[in-house]
Structure 1
């Protein structure tokens, strides 16, 4: 019986273990203008879990606490994704694009900024010009994406 237990443990000891990313990761941020709304798309490696939204007039970097500039933005939609990151488990960035960028081709969205990538919390700020504009946030799959729409008016 002991010999059988040792043999089973030996098999499990030498079995390769697949390495999986512990949380979904951000790989790209895309923007586009559509009839009636502007869209921001976050390409993710897996499904997003908990998404929280807040309309704010200013944002700060979650690590440093320093303000994140959002010029020309009358309102900011702060999107927080709990259980996601912009880096892999080894600390290597999975999103290598700009951290804060203007969106000149869009009607209402003025700026997009990565505001947080810390302890499985991913923060994205979307600044827009019309504070009365509607917004919606939803997910799509195949591939996995978090979609942020901001109405033109």
Structure 2
């Protein structure tokens, strides 16, 4: 009887040792990033200064992110996109009122804006977007143009420029989630 208990105890111990490694392995594996997004939320930017002009802004929705495209008349454009506590208007330094849980300051190294550009607190209609809440004009002053973006939360974002000869496009993508 004593020998049977010892055999059962040894089998139980051996069985638990087989379970533990597989549980530990499952706990240490990490899931792939959502939609493959690995952008993070740190500032993005490039430095070129130009005499370019902002001519348009448009928005689009994708499966994994919301996108803003800034059209610039000029072969190259510098920019800085970053999360801030509040976006400040160019020239005055006054805060720009935005809807959302987080704010992106988009500063484009463009000396001005086209007269046809919608320079309002609702530059682009983003109602119904998953991440974007508002796109607002922040002004142009001393070679820089600011646009404030209200977003749902501080989420991963990326920014890059597409050049095609005489014009450029600054693309800003904000992920739907981490």
TM-score of the pair, normalised by structure 2: 0.63
| 1:150 match: secondary structure | strand
Aligned to 2:7: none
Offset, 1:96:
2.6
Distance 1:78 1:36 in 2: 21
| 2:112 match: secondary structure | coil
Where do 5+ consecutive residues of structure 1 fail to align? 1-21, 88-92
Is the helix fraction higher in 1 or 2? Answer: 2
Is the strand fraction higher in 1 or 2? Answer: 1
Offset, 1:52:
1.6
2:158 to 121, 125, 136: 136
CA-atom RMSD, angstroms?
1.8
Aligned to 1:109: 132
Distance 2:75 2:107 in 1: 14
Where do 5+ consecutive residues of structure 2 fail to align? 1-49
Distance 1:53 1:42 in 2: 12
| 1:47 match: secondary structure | coil
2:78 to 50, 53, 61: 50
Larger Rg: 2
Aligned to 2:98: 70
TM-score of the pair, normalised by structure 1: 0.72
